[in-house]
Each structure stands twice: as structure tokens, then as C-alpha cells.
Amino acid sequence: MGELPGQRAMSEIQSRSSLRLILALCGVAAPIVFTIFVVAESMLRPGYSQISNYVSDLGVGSNAILQSVNFWITGILTVASAIGLRLGLSGDGWAPRAGPGLVGIGGIGLILAGFFPDAPDPYPGDVHLFAAFLFFLGVILAIFVTRSVQDANPNWSGYGKVSLMFGLAAVVAALLFVAMPTSYVGLFERVLIVPLFLWIGIMSWKQFTLFSSPADPS
């Protein structure tokens, strides 16, 4: 016997719920995966400094493929989290779509960074710089756009203030990153990366709790 209409509908609801949980967990995993890769690669690279070297420096030279894989995996997880964020943000207008869309652009930037390492050959480093620009600017803008939706959504009560805090921290970190001497670029790049990935992880965990609750936001 085939499934009854009610059973089929329930099965579809459960499938959608499982997919949303997976998408949310992708965002939780993204900063963890990125950090593990960077720490492990640093240990395999004699002379590499977390203070004076860019993260992207790991994508050039020995074991460079590991950083490319890191960018690809983290980028895919970030794009997946953007889809989950869109499903978790209800509301009319452009902001509920633009915020997650900007996160997705950030994830695409990471994926591109993996394909185009920061080296002159065979591709110009400007391509990698553009990819990094997509990630940093995309996620920073996403934080502020998403905040406007969270303030008006009771399911996200209090998270607008959290987003504002992370957004301001990211802007300050970006200014410091640009202004600091080159001997500290690695340190201040990480100071910028931390609030961006933390925000993605925290928002994704919030989505996970929303999707896990009986009163699913859908």
C-alpha cells in the first residue's frame, strides 16, 4: 500500500525540518572547521606566524592545498548557512532576503579564494584579494541588514543587539586591520575574522534551536 495523503504530507514536513537543521548546523560548523584547518596548517609550516602572516599565506608553498580545501569547505558551509538563515528569517521586504544573500556572497568569496590563491602565478593575487573582499564586506553588511529584521521578529528577540555588537566590532577590527603596520597584519586579520565567523556560528545555532522547537518558524 502507498502512503496516505496525511502520511505523505507528514513525511515531507519531516524532510524539510531535517534539511533546515542540517543547514543550520553547517553554519555552526563553519568557524570550527576553519579554525582547525588554520591551526593544523600553521603547525605544519615552520616559521609561520599568527601575528605577521595572513591566513592566505598558508595557501602558497608547502601543503598549500590544505588551505584551498579549507576555503572550499568553509565556503560551502557558509553558503549552506545562508540558505538556513533565509529560512529562519520571516518577514516582508528586501532585508530578509538581502541579509542571507550577503552571507552567501561571503561564502562564495571563500570558495573563490580556494581556487585563486594569493600568488602571482598562475593567477594574479588581485583575484584572491577580490575574493577576500567579497567575504569580509559581504558578511559585515549581512550583519547590519539582518539586525533590522531581527529587531522586528519576536523569534529573534534580543539578537538584533547581538548583531549590532558584532557588526560594530567587525567595523572597528577592519579599520585596525587597514591601519596597522604590516608586522601585525596576521594578528589584526584574525581580530577581524573572529567576529564574522562567531556571528555566523551564533546565528546558525539560533536557527537550529528555532528549527528544533515544536513551533517551527515555517
pTM of the full predicted structure?
A: 0.89
User: In this structure, which amino acid lies at residue 174?
Assistant: A
pLDDT for 199 equals: 97
Rounded-to-integer distance, Cα 182 and Cα 68, Å: 24
The per-residue pLDDT string of the chain (218 residues; one tens digit each, 9 = 90 and over) reads: 455 555 554 455 556 678 889 999 999 999 999 999 999 999 999 999 999 999 999 998 888 999 999 999 999 999 999 999 998 887 778 988 999 999 999 999 999 999 998 876 666 668 999 999 999 999 999 999 999 888 888 889 899 999 999 999 999 999 999 888 888 999 999 999 999 999 999 999 999 998 887 555 55
Which pLDDT belongs to residue 1? 46
d(CA 85, CA 206): 9
In angstroms, the Cα distances linking 122 to 1, 64, 67, 168, 180 are: 60, 14, 17, 37, 30
